[in-house]
Structure 1
Amino acid sequence: MTQHVVICAGESSGDALGAGLVHELSALEPGLRYSGMGGTQMRAAGVDTLIDVAELAVVGLVDVLVNYPRLRRLFRRMCRHLETQRPDLLVLVDYVEFNLRLAAHARRLGIRVLFYVSPQLWAWRSGRIKRIRHSVDAMAVLFPFETAVYEKAGVAVRYVGNPLVDRVRPADKPIRETLGLPPATRLLGLLPGSRSGELKRHWPMLVATARHVHATHPDVRFVVSMAPGVTADRLTDLAAGDDLPLQFVEGEVATHSLMAGADLLLIASGTATLEAGLLQAPMLVFYRMGALSHAVFSRLVRLENIALVNIVGEERLVPEYLQHDATPDRLARDAADLLDDRDRLEAMRERLAHVRERLGEGGADRRVAEMARELLHYGHLRSSDHREAM
């Protein structure tokens, strides 16, 4: 009988991770059947997606509360799918709160669970380790320091490395050539995020920032990277930038080309900062959330840095602007100062060289696939001593 794997991702970054896992697992175990929730990349890899990640893209406490009835319907749909299909394995990719609840339901059904990408227990809500111990068979973690907390709690864990190390490479074609711009053109990259709430809070701010920069630096061009599912029309509806020299790019290759080639990035905190760090891209990292979400966040989170690139680097490699510090005036002033100081930009690039060193070697997709294969064949990991991904 064909074995069935259900795989669930809740946003575009998880969709990419899920697709990489499916590609590698299909090579190790041909003939597996895949279903679940994901996006374009997982569908292209052969996953029959019942739910698209676009239906799940919410961020912050208020967004979750407003969208709770819809999210609950989607959650119940996935629960019914598990109940009727009884897959051999459930793989959950990030999207923590939704997926941990799904893991608990799967455990009650006797379905094995592999959780890929650890919740940031080292930052906040460390009590979730109890939920994980009771509902997850194995954890695949991206950073070596994450293994200790799971080993202490008695959860099977394996450090697999970070898949971005394999995935993030400079494009063959320079971004200025792609856009038809002279080689000496100064470029400021704008990356507002992917979720609906992020776009609403970030895009108008970035347009205002670009206007400030344009007023003092009319030679600078602004290039916007659009995440999957985001369109130029959608951004224009939120804030029009017709009076600015704006150009739009989409897709992973074009985004990495922009990161590698822009003079400076204004980038929303998230996985994208790590991608940019791997390409040694000078950046200013910002993030805004709803007032209620920020009130909760500021009381619970124990991090000195919020940007993944700074967390991985274990120091403030790039500036951060959170909540009230993320204003058009301040971002524009600091961006303009950096654009005019080539030495500071180069120094930032040199500091970011340490990011790739800290993330180790590639091969994360294959290591996660091997974990999934062991759970399919044996019901558990064959050995807990698999931490050599460096």
Structure 2
Amino acid sequence: MRKILISAGDASGDLHGAELVRALLRRLPDLQVVGMGGERMRSAGVEILVDQADLAVGGLVELLGSVGRIFGAWRKLSAVLRKEQFDLVVLIDSGGFNLPFARRVKRVKNVPILYYIAPQVWAWRSGRKKKLAARVDRLAVIHPFEVQVWQGSGVDAVFVGHPLVDQFTSYQEQVSTVEARQRVGVLEGPTYVALFPGSRRNEVQSHLPTQLEAVRELHSRDRRCQFILGLATSIDKEQVEAILEVANLPASIEMTLVQGRTMDVLRSSQVALVKPGTVTTEAMLMETPMVVMGKANPLTASVLKRALKIQWLAMPNLLAGRAIVPEFLQEKAQPVALAGALQSMLGGPSRKTQVEAFRLLKRSLSVDSSETASQIVEDMLESPST
């Protein structure tokens, strides 16, 4: 029986890993898959050895408190590699965890490695490019421009399409706005604004208080607006409820908390206030106009400002090469400015411009990613020297 070890270090990796594993098991029903992930990967058939929720932190300062857990995860996965026989290792995103882990894999067993959703060396820390090329056997990249980024590096990079495109297209064909609102438990009448503060505890702590002040401001301008707070499954609701209690929003503001139903929340909403990251791609694919806001620890922000090689953080802007989506970062992420940007997205030319651009960008990513990546896995299992 063939066996692979898979490593996904955050909520989006868990989602993409689950889809990949389902596609793999359709091709190879006897394949055994173990590794690090979350509930979605567990439901897809992965034997979870390390829960990715334990590692769900971001930022340089915030990572210091998780070093022990990260090393513990590396040790546990490495011990399994030593003890058992694996045919392939699949790494999904999470370069901070998976790139050092790739080195451990080569030292422990020298098992072939596929990196699915490669680290964004085109955005920052380009020095990782040489390290990654030396440690992995193949790359499956999800943006067309990444193939050129990896040319001449010595590692084979294949564009497999974005793993979310087919999921969102299928969802939109099957679920109406009315049905989505029924799923999340909100009424049909109001204008809904979605909030996405992040999938990590420290992100929620940094973003949600400012988002809630923007909510207060927007509601004072437009009483029709009500709000849906989209939470990752990795987030503790008690943390969120404590922040809501401190915010002390007026009773006229309805805030519906929804966990783990990103597509339903986006489908239910006329506009979304989101943090940088995967959710900017998700809102784009749902064709939900958005405003991006980001706050980080000042030290983390200072380091990132020097290290980043890109002009924007929102994926629609990066794909288009222009500012389609407004971005408010650090000191610019003020409640009044955010409320004004959200209000402009509720109607008029700004909204139309975003939606039209989103439709064009979605076409550029339309390849069945999970199936294509699963074909690469199958090829590597059949030809281990690839």
Where on the TM-score scale, by shorter chain, does this alignment land: which range?
A: over 0.9
Decide which moves more: 191-200 or 61-70.
61-70
Between 1:347-356 and 1:137-146, the stretch displaced more is 347-356
Q: 1:121 matched to which residue of 2?
A: 121
Aligned to 1:245: 254
Aligned to 1:309: 316
Q: Secondary structure at the match of 1:100?
A: helix
CA distance in 2, matches of 1:179, 1:368: 32
Please report how far the alpha carbon of residue 215 of structure 1 lies from its aligned counterpart in structure 2 after TM superposition. Answer: 2.1
Counterpart Cα distance in 2 of 1:154 and 1:118: 15
Q: How does 1:158-177 map to 2 (within 5 A)?
A: 158-168=158-168, 169-170=171-172, 171-172=175-176, 174=178, 175-177=180-182
**1:372 equivalenced with 2:377 (yes/no):** yes
1:71-107 Cα deviation digits (max 9, x unpaired): 1122211211211123111100011021111111111
Give yes or no for contact 1:86–1:111 (8 Å, CA) kept in 2.
no
**Secondary structure at 2:49 match in 1:** strand
Q: How far apart, in 2, do the equivalents of 1:106 and 1:127 lie?
A: 20
Once the two structures are overlaid, the 10-residue window that deviates more, 269-278 or 72-81, is 72-81
Q: Shift of residue 19 of structure 1?
A: 0.9
Post-superposition Cα deviations, 1:118-149, rounded to whole Å, max 9, x if no partner, equal 11111111111211122101111101211123
Aligned to 1:388: none
Please give the secondary structure, in 2, of the residue aligned with 1:119: coil
Structure 1 residues 173 and 281, CA, compared in 2 at 3 Å: closer, same or farther?
Answer: closer
Q: 1:163 to 1:47 in 2, by over 3 A?
A: same
Q: What is the CA-CA distance between 1:375 and the residue it aligns to?
A: 1.3
Q: Which residue of 2 aligns with 1:272?
A: 279
1:351 aligns with 2:357: yes
Q: Percent identity between the aligned chains?
A: 31
Is 1:330–2:329 an aligned residue pair? Answer: no
Amino acid at match of 1:288: K
* Runs of 5+ unmatched residues, structure 2: none
Question: Does residue 29 of the first structure (1) align with residue 28 of the second (2)?
Answer: yes
Match of 2:229 in 1: 224
Unaligned runs of at least 5 residues, structure 1: 382-390
Q: Is the 8 A contact 2:181 2:264 kept in 1?
A: no
Structure 2 counterpart of 1:315, which letter?
R
Contact 1:313 1:354 in 2 (8 A): no
- Check conservation: 2:141, 2:147, Cα contact below 8 A: yes
Matched, 1:202 2:207: yes
SS, match of residue 291 in structure 2: strand
CA contact (8 A) 2:6 2:35 kept: yes
Listed as ranges, the matches of 1:92-131 within 5 Å are: 92-108=91-107, 109-131=109-131
2:152 partner SS: helix
The residue matched to 1:144 in structure 2 has which SS?
A: coil
Partner of 2:55: 56
* SS in structure 2 of the partner of residue 368 of structure 1: helix
What is the aligned counterpart of 1:321 among 321, 328, 341? Answer: 328
- Residue 299 of structure 2 corresponds to residue 300 of structure 1: no
Q: Structure 1 counterpart of 2:11, which letter?
A: S
Task: Please tell me the residue identity of whatever aligns with 2:362.
Answer: R
**How many residue pairs were aligned?**
376
Match of 2:145 in 1: 145
Separation (CA, whole Å) in 1 of partners of 2:134 and 2:85: 19
2:68 corresponding residue in structure 1: 69
Instruction: Give the Cα–Cα distance (whole angstroms) in 2 for the partners of residues 250 and 178 of structure 1.
Output: 12
Secondary structure (helix, strand or coil) at the match of 2:301 reads helix
- What one-letter code is carried by the residue in structure 1 that aligns with 2:379? E
CA contact (8 A) 2:344 2:351 kept: no
d(CA) in 2 for partners of 1:180, 1:374: 44
Give me the CA root mean square deviation: 1.8
Determine if contact 1:9/1:92 at 8 Å carries over to the other structure.
Answer: yes
Per the TM alignment, residue 314 of structure 1 is displaced from its structure 2 partner at its CA by 2.2
Tell whether the 8 Å contact from 1:22 to 1:45 is kept in structure 2 after alignment. Answer: yes
